[in-house]
Amino acid sequence: MTDITRARRESLRWSLLVALNKSRPYTTSEQLLFDVARSIFPDATKLEVRQELDYLSDRRLTEITKQPSGMWLPT
């Protein structure tokens, strides 16, 4: 079962990176990335997307601007 979970996480990360690459040089809204995730995984949650964005940010594959209002703006 963990292989399926791992494959899902990796696929979601890849999809987020592709979406961020396509939107360059502009900042992408968190909602757009959530919509991308939902189109691939209908049961995806905002928490799951944020966790994967945080993972990508920790590895310096993307940068995230966290606004005081709670909105994340990945670039």
pLDDT by residue (tens digit) across 3-56?
Answer: 999 999 999 999 999 999 998 888 888 999 999 999 999 999 999 999 999 999
Beta strands in the chain (DSSP E): 64-66, 72-74
Q: What is the pLDDT of residue 66?
A: 87
Number of folded domains in the chain?
1
> Both tokens of residue 41?
């995984």
Rounded to an integer, what distance in angstroms lies between the CA atom of residue 21 and that of residue 16? 9
Q: What is the pLDDT of residue 9?
A: 94
Range of the domain at 44: 2-74
CATH of residue 26's domain is 1.10.10.10
- pLDDT higher than 70, residue 1: no
Residue 58 backbone class (left: φ over 0; alpha: ψ -120 to 50; beta: rest): alpha
Q: What is the pLDDT of residue 53?
A: 94
